[in-house]
């Protein structure tokens, strides 16, 4: 699906000015991604910086990403990990999975990344059953319809005190093109804010990030 990119506003431009890419291949990947119309838009650098900030401040060592794309966001997550940290990332598109693995190999990050190919709706509940409470930090950036659907299994995978970050959660209010997807992210926001296991907030950066802290098992 071709998704039109929205123009940067002045605030985003201002913030982006300060951001250094932690891995050199990322700048190259950004230029290539910006002219592609065969991938869904990757996260913005200011979102990457915020994810890296959260991972560092939480001292997260085990990270799960749902929606690898071609690996750009995974590199941001990896850049914030300590040497004994590890990321598991999932994507259901073979072509993107293969591209991402190539990027991880070329950037020397592959040792800290397990890239799984498959559908999150199958892999996440299976992981939750086999490895409950095994992740410090979970980044949800796959198909938006999956956000509410996978929430319970995602919470089960998170350690107490861990954080789930979901991307694009303000589609309903800041993106009329993707209004349809906004229904799912709005439902996700409703569910996480009502969930007593979680303490949540929304950061209006990019297309919105919902942050949920697991305060109860
Ligand atoms: C917005 S893109 C991810 C972008 C990536 N996180 C980044 O910022 O570089 C969403 C990704 O979710 C993947 N996806 C969609 N539905 C999925 C599913 N059911 N299971 C796993 N991955 C899925 C798509 O193939 C796509 O690569």
pLDDT tens, residue by residue, 107-155: 999 999 999 999 999 999 999 999 999 999 999 999 999 999 999 999 9
Residue 1 resides in a domain: no
**Residue 4 confidence (pLDDT):** 43
Q: How far apart are CA 60 and CA 135, in angstroms?
A: 8
**Residue 12 confidence (pLDDT):** 87
Q: How far apart are CA 33 and CA 122, in angstroms?
A: 28
Q: What is the mean pLDDT of residues 95-117?
A: 98
CA 42 to ligand 1: nearest atom: 8
Does the Cβ of 174 fall within 6 Å of ligand 1? no
At residue 191, does pLDDT exceed 80?
yes
Q: How far apart are CA 60 and CA 74, in angstroms?
A: 14
Of the listed ranges 31-40, 59-68, 124-133, 173-182, the least confidently predicted one is 173-182
Give the residue with greater pLDDT, 180 vs 135: 135
Q: Whose CA is nearest to atom 8 of ligand 1?
A: 42
Q: How many residues in total does the chain contain?
A: 217
Q: Which residues of 172-211 are buried (b: 16+ CB within 10 A; e: fewer)?
A: beebeebeebbebbbbbbebbeebebbebebeebbbbbbb
At residue 2, does pLDDT exceed 70?
no
C-alpha neighbours within 13 Å on the C-beta side of residue 98: 3
Residue 2 resides in a domain: no
* Range of the structural domain that residue 173 is part of: 10-214
Does the Cβ of 93 fall within 6 Å of ligand 1? yes
At residue 74, does pLDDT exceed 80?
yes
Residue 151 resides in a domain: yes
- What mean pLDDT, rounded, does the chain reach? 94
Residue 5 resides in a domain: no
> In which region does residue 102 sit, left (phi positive, over 0), alpha (psi from -120 to 50) or beta (all else)?
alpha
**Residue 33 confidence (pLDDT):** 96
CATH number at residue 22: 3.40.50.150
Residue 120 resides in a domain: yes
Q: How many domains does the chain have?
A: 1
Identify the band that residue 176 occupies on the pLDDT scale cut at 50, 70 and 90: low
Residue 92 resides in a domain: yes
Does the Cβ of 115 fall within 6 Å of ligand 1? no
Mutate to test the pocket of ligand 1, among 3, 109, 143, 168 (most ligand atoms within 8 A of CB): 143
**Residue 6 confidence (pLDDT):** 58
Query: Which one, of 52, 143, 147, lies nearest residue 91 by Cα?
Result: 143
Question: Which residues partner with 90 through β-bridges?
Answer: 66, 116
Angstrom CA distances, 213 to 46, 72, 155, 163, stand at 21, 24, 10, 5
C-beta neighbour count of 85 within 10 angstroms? 18
**Lookup result for tokens 């996480």:** 192
Angstrom CA distances, 178 to 4, 52, 111, 147, 171, stand at 10, 27, 36, 15, 6
Residue 4 resides in a domain: no
pLDDT per position as a tens digit, 3-20: 444 567 888 889 999 999
Q: How far apart are CA 132 and CA 134, in angstroms?
A: 5
Q: Whose CA is nearest to atom 15 of ligand 1?
A: 143
Q: How far apart are CA 141 and CA 73, in angstroms?
A: 9
């Amino acid at each position: 699906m071709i998704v039109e990119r929205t123009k940067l506003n002045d605030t985003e431009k201002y913030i982006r000015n300060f951001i250094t890419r932690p891995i050199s291949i990322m700048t190259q990947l950004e230029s290539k991604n910006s002219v592609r119309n065969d991938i869904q838009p990757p996260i913005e650098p200011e979102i990457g910086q915020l994810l890296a900030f959260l991972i560092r401040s939480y001292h997260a060592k085990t990270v799960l990403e749902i929606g690898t794309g071609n690996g750009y966001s995974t590199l941001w997550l990896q850049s914030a990990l300590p040497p004994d940290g590890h990321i598991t990332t999932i994507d259901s598109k073979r072509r993107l999975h293969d591209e991402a693995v190539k990027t991880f190999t070329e950037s020397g990050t592959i040792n800290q990344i397990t890239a799984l190919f498959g559908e999150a709706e199958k892999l996440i509940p299976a992981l939750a059953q086999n490895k409950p409470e095994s992740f410090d930090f979970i980044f949800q950036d796959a198909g938006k319809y999956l956000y509410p659907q996978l929430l319970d299994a995602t919470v089960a995978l998170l350690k107490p005190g861990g954080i789930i970050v979901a991307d694009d959660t303000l589609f309903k209010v800041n993106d009329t093109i993707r209004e349809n997807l906004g229904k799912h992210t709005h439902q996700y926001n409703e569910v996480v804010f009502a969930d007593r296991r979680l303490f949540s907030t929304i950061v209006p950066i990019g297309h919105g990030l919902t942050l949920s802290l697991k305060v109860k098992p």
